[in-house]
Structure 1
Amino acid sequence: MHDFITPPADFSLRNNYDKVIGFFSHFRSMAYNDRAFDRPFGIEFAALKKVAPGAALMLAAELYRLQRFVGRRLSAIRQDEWDPEVRRTLQELGLFKLLATPNVYPVMRRDDNPSLEIIEYSVDAEVDGNKCGHLLDCLAEIAGDLPAQNFIYDGLIEALKNSKHHAYSEERWYGVEPGTWFMTGSYDRFERQLTAAVFDLGVGIPATLPRSGLWEHLRPILSLSGSDDAKMISAAMEYGRTRTHLQGRGKGLPIMMRLLDHHPGYLRIVSGKGEAVYDSLTKSIHETSHAESIGGTLIEWSIASDRRN
């Protein structure tokens, strides 16, 4: 007999943050405690009706960590009750390939001209430019060569470096090799929109900022505006947007922000209990404070392509 955890039907951080993060908190409390091996538990995937890429990337990371923790492959159960589109999305994202799930029923892929093309998950604990290069090759094949491609590459590399060198302190148990990052990407043909996302299970940007080279510049700003997680992320984004010659830990944000000099879109960072979104059209940053921590850092770029077929 299994105990089942029920995720929210709308599995989206943007639309349903509190319920999605509440699900992950419940999941972690069930998975990592003294009695975790006494009674098996599962996720009621049949409850899912819509899965957004960011939340799905987090789910992949959590299941990857759990599988390493229990030391065996996870199984997919009651698959006939899952929503067909959700099962197809998870398959196309590469969730079952990432986990080497042994008993997944195959699902027909979308037709020859789908509106959404998805790049399967990548995971590593090293910063390998070839991983980004492969994703960019796939995106270029889908969407054509982009003038901003070099900036996308640089931004992804910097995000992976941040995960590798700064996200994982030596004071905590993470369940994965320090430096582990997860990445995916997609192209929406109808919206003509490219998206790339990176997630890590580390301590979060607000926890690492005081040890970074940016802190001496951000501290005066934060002393005036407050220093909750959202404001810390927003201050780092704003400082990075207006500086192009930062060194070390500080140079990632300018690269990420410059992606949006070439195409309309946004940069979204969710870390700790804070969220900040930079909109290239309004040149503004919107902050949101949350009650619960995301349990890592999610960085997402969404860039509209000007290319016409």
Structure 2
Amino acid sequence: MTRFTPRIAIPEQIGISKEESRRLLLDAVKKIHNSVKNNKCVYIDFSKTVKVYTEGMLYLYAELENIKNIYKNIIIKCIKSRVSKVNHVLNQIGIFEMCSYTFSPCSEYNDVIHWKNTSGVDVTGAKFDEIIDPDSELMELPLALNVYGGFIEAIKNAREHAYIKKRELSDVASLKTAWWVFSQIKEQYIHVSICDLGIGIPETVHIQWKEIIKSLLKEIRTPNDADIIKAAIETPSSRTGERNRGNGLKTISGIAKDDERASFSIYSGRGLVFLRRKKIVKLNFATSLPGTIVCWKLPLSAPHQSPTEMALQKILHEG
């Protein structure tokens, strides 16, 4: 008797910033997790996928790699999209390689070929060179310090706080891979997105940063996830409670806050907080993201050295 190999359909849009596409993607990821528990092989079906957004693709990539870390003998195969550009994205970031799918690029899409990705466990700058060319003429020193400092702060947050307890969706092999990064230089901007598969900022704050919740309750009777994320960004204290430690989230958001051309966003739990044109906006979704994704977009030309740049230089010099 031939055993049926499950096929999990990936939605038309791989994204997490719109309610419907978010729900469909998270549902597909849950189905993948349930399938690998009882099957040695699973097919990921991209045939209906026509659009890929960075945050959604990064999340899906992280979940698939984590599954490969946990289930050593699992075989993941895929069915390609009918859209050429989508297939080039899947090939560029390594999804096809993960699925042992042979693909020969036939086009050069400017918003695809420059994507780079890396992942890791430790808080180290060694991985930085894998996502940003240190010799690039586009990377002026102040900007490079901004991006490097934000990179270090984001992976430090993931390593130190994301995995303090088991998340509901599945285990995470955080000793093998704790964070995932996508980056791209496009149209005089640099884009960096960092993902962890931890319990999320709202739950972490409830456990480790209870003074934020106490403060919020004085202003908001029932703070939602976006309220908590925003408070975590703005608080002057450290999550660890150590006075000599800075607030990583506050530092990262400051990178975008100093320049109105930049943008910054955090997806975690049901919340989304994004900063654009120096204004902070909060949104909440019906479905909860089992992890955290931090993204920022920075112009390649820095007009002057901002207070955040000087703060990041201080962090780097102190070690």
1:157 aligns with 2:152: yes
Of 117, 120, 123, the match for 2:116: 120
Match of 2:142, SS state, is coil
After superposition, the Cα gap between the structure-2 partners of 1:240 and 1:85, relative to the gap in structure 1 and judged at 3 Å, is farther
**1:270 — aligned with what?**
267
Of 191, 216, 225, the match for 1:229: 225
For residues 254-299 of structure 1, what are the alpha-carbon distances to aligned partners after superposition, in whole Å with 9 as ceiling and x for unaligned?
32123121462111001011111012x2x22111111111110000
**1:104 — aligned with what?**
102
Structure 2 alignment gaps of length 5 or more:
303-319
After superposition, the Cα gap between the structure-2 partners of 1:126 and 1:96, relative to the gap in structure 1 and judged at 3 Å, is farther
Q: Distance in 1 between matches of 2:106 and 2:23?
A: 31
Q: Across the two proteins, how many residue pairs are aligned to each other?
A: 290
Q: What's the TM-score, normalizing by structure 2?
A: 0.79
* Cα displacement (A) at 1:116: 5.2
**1:295 — aligned with what?**
290
Q: Superposition pairs for residues 164-243 of structure 1, below 5 Å?
A: 164-172=159-167, 174-178=171-175, 180-189=178-187, 192-212=188-208, 215-217=210-212, 219-225=214-220, 226-239=222-235
Match of 1:127, SS state, is coil
* Cα displacement (A) at 1:73: 5.8
After superposition, the Cα gap between the structure-2 partners of 1:227 and 1:59, relative to the gap in structure 1 and judged at 3 Å, is same
* Cα displacement (A) at 1:13: 2.0
- Contact 1:5/1:23 (<8 A) preserved: no
For residues 167-188 of structure 1, what are the alpha-carbon distances to aligned partners after superposition, in whole Å with 9 as ceiling and x for unaligned?
0024455232256100110122
1:256 aligns with 2:252: yes
Instruction: Flag as ranges the 4+ runs of structure 1 deviating above 6 A.
Output: none
1:66 aligns with 2:75: no
* Cα displacement (A) at 1:249: 6.6
Q: What's the TM-score, normalizing by structure 1?
A: 0.82
Q: Distance in 1 between matches of 2:113 and 2:254?
A: 25
Q: Distance in 2 between matches of 1:82 and 1:254?
A: 42
Structure 1 alignment gaps of length 5 or more:
none
**1:285 — aligned with what?**
280
* Cα displacement (A) at 1:206: 0.7
Aligned-residue identity in percent? 22
- CA RMSD, 1 decimal: 2.9
Q: Distance in 2 between matches of 1:115 and 1:65?
A: 26
* Cα displacement (A) at 1:219: 2.7
